[in-house]
Amino acid sequence: MEIALKRSILIPSNELYSPVAGFYDYGPVGKALKRKLEEYWRDFFLRKDGYFEIETVYVLPEVVLKASGHLSCFGDPVVGCTKCGKKFRADHLLEEKGKRCEGAKPEELNNKIKENNIRCPECGGPLGEVGWFNLMFKTNIGPIEGTTGYIRPETAQGIFLDFQRVFRSHGSKLPMGIAQIGKSFRNEISPRQGLVRLREFSQMELEYFFNPNSPTHPKFKRVEKEKFRIYSREEQKKGTDNCIELTAREAVERKIVPNEIMAYFMGREMQFYLKLGIPYDALRFRHMLPEETPHYSGGNIDLEVKTSVGWVEVIGNAYRTDYDLKSHSKSSGKDLSVSLEDGGKVMPHVVEPSFGVDRTILCMLEHCYRKGGDAERRDWEWFDFPAFLSPFEAAVLPLMKKDGLAEKATELADSLREKGFDVLYDETGSIGKRYARQDEIGTPYCITIDYDTLKEGTVTIRFRNDGKQTREKIDKLEEKLHSFIKGNVLCLP
Ligand SMILES: [Zn+2]
């Protein structure tokens, strides 16, 4: 976090006043990383499988969230200190004391707090009664009183609302995948841990609509041998950290995963997170406990990443069945079932992989963080991002500002930008300091313009991961950079 703040990868929101917990801004480097992550997701999960992306509104009228169940169910138990007035998540206070309470109702939490004599963690004062707090931000649509609206707590609802139109205008055939990347808002009671629990955050959600009579995926064969670790319900109940390793096919056969469709996405998710630079051993699928699973669900499995603050959920895989479409059909009075080719009708079922963008970035920052390296370097800190996801692909650095080197370097930076590379130009400070700054934001290639550039038309390329350099002709640079990025070449070959 220190290096992320120092290099403005992340910026605490409203810092000029007093930062409000649960909000973070992305600086230029963080935004570039986020943009590349989202673009890679789009390519990996949507474009490659022919799924559609849409963009729906943030503000939803109350009737939508009543139908979806968010108005009555989307909340957390809250308890306040009667002395200092601070508010806390009642279940978190108990969990911090090692007491299990997944799915407990406010009355049960109340009793547990009394039994265990839990007091205010801030001032030691006595706690009041446990209440229920809805996590949605409420607003008015229209002037004065207007109609009650809420800022969306997930991007998924917009997809269900638009499903019928997209379905009809794009072939009217199941299965169909519809996705959305965008912000969601949850008024968390006491957000902590930086990017883990934000009140405003980004999601990448894919809803896969299919005929419940054929819960298969046309590409399942391609990932059936993909291996992953599963943290089973039994191991969670025992309180151990043990995982079992299964292939996607075995996970379906053992009925841990409800169907091939979810197993397909789990296999793809593994491939994706490994590409981001998260090691295999830091990834596990956690089978959600029955008390954590919504009543309508056909199965929920989270992908978790090991971090310095513990295991963090980065994806929620949910078999939402026909719950959402059915609820909106009932509430709106419009039939959302679809006609099949054989003349029958069916309410599509949905498997949803829902990705947390900010949490994924946090995991990348942690797992790509390095300190030191070769002797020359050092004690400096750097990020080992994969080349194709690095916020900036290259930096162009004139050895000196004088003798036309700066002009030549500016010209080269511009020409690389013309060719589509994300390039930084830096002429400030010693060359060593500039290398260090680029390492700190994970730039894989530093291109230095020196006196030989003017004489022979060559530049040096320095590789981030070993600090070694090679000399290349300027007219070969574009081709070289493309091949280094494509092959993720991060040391001198
Ligand atoms: Zn207190």
pLDDT tens sequence across 162-208: 999 999 999 999 999 999 999 999 999 888 767 888 999 999 999 99
Structure tokens at 412: 């080269």
Ligand 1 centroid, distance to 1 Cα (angstroms): 28
Strands (E), 384-478: 394-398, 423-425, 445-449, 458-463, 469-473
Q: What is the pLDDT of residue 103?
A: 74
> What are the domain boundaries of the chain?
2-71+137-366, 75-134, 376-486
CATH class of this structure's domain 75-134? alpha beta
Ligand 1 centroid, distance to 119 Cα (angstroms): 8
Ligand 1 centroid, distance to 359 Cα (angstroms): 30
Ligand 1 centroid, distance to 183 Cα (angstroms): 33
pLDDT tens string 317-374: 999 999 999 999 999 999 999 998 888 999 999 999 999 999 999 999 999 999 987 6
Q: What is the pLDDT of residue 376?
A: 64
Q: What is the pLDDT of residue 247?
A: 98
CA-based torsion, 399, 402, 408, 413: positive or negative: positive
Ligand 1 centroid, distance to 309 Cα (angstroms): 25
Q: How far is residue 423's CA from residue 441's CA, in Å, rounded to a whole number?
A: 13
Specify whether the CB–CB gap between 225 and 251 falls below 8 A: no
Ligand 1 centroid, distance to 125 Cα (angstroms): 5
Ligand 1 centroid, distance to 197 Cα (angstroms): 22
Mean pLDDT per 10-residue run, the chain (493 residues)?
Answer: 91 89 95 98 98 98 94 90 92 86 83 91 93 93 86 97 97 96 94 85 98 96 97 93 96 96 98 98 96 90 96 97 97 95 93 98 96 73 96 97 95 97 97 94 97 96 94 96 97 94
With a pLDDT cut of 90, the percent of the chain lying above it is: 85
Question: What CATH number should be reported for the domain whose range is 2-71+137-366?
Answer: 3.30.930.10
Ligand 1 centroid, distance to 84 Cα (angstroms): 4
Q: What is the pLDDT of residue 194?
A: 78
Q: What is the pLDDT of residue 379?
A: 78
Q: How far is residue 186's CA from residue 191's CA, in Å, rounded to a whole number?
A: 10
Check if CATH label 2.60.40.10 holds for domain 376-486: no
Q: How far is residue 327's CA from residue 178's CA, in Å, rounded to a whole number?
A: 19
Which amino acid, one-letter code, is at 477? L
Ligand 1 centroid, distance to 120 Cα (angstroms): 5
Q: What is the pLDDT of residue 58?
A: 97
* Nearest CA among 403, 396, 451 for reference residue 418: 396
Neighbours of ion ligand 1 (CB under 5 A): 81, 83-84, 120, 122-123, 125
Ligand 1 centroid, distance to 90 Cα (angstroms): 14
HSE-CB for 370 with a 13 A CA cutoff: 19
Q: For the chain, give the mean pLDDT.
A: 94
Ligand 1 centroid, distance to 188 Cα (angstroms): 19
Ligand 1 centroid, distance to 87 Cα (angstroms): 9
Q: What is the pLDDT of residue 242?
A: 95
Q: What is the pLDDT of residue 177?
A: 98
Ligand 1 centroid, distance to 78 Cα (angstroms): 14
Q: What is the pLDDT of residue 375?
A: 60
Of the chain, the end-to-end C-alpha distance in Å amounts to 32
Ligand 1 centroid, distance to 220 Cα (angstroms): 53
Ligand 1 centroid, distance to 76 Cα (angstroms): 19
Q: What is the pLDDT of residue 312?
A: 96
Specify whether the CB–CB gap between 2 and 187 falls below 8 A: no
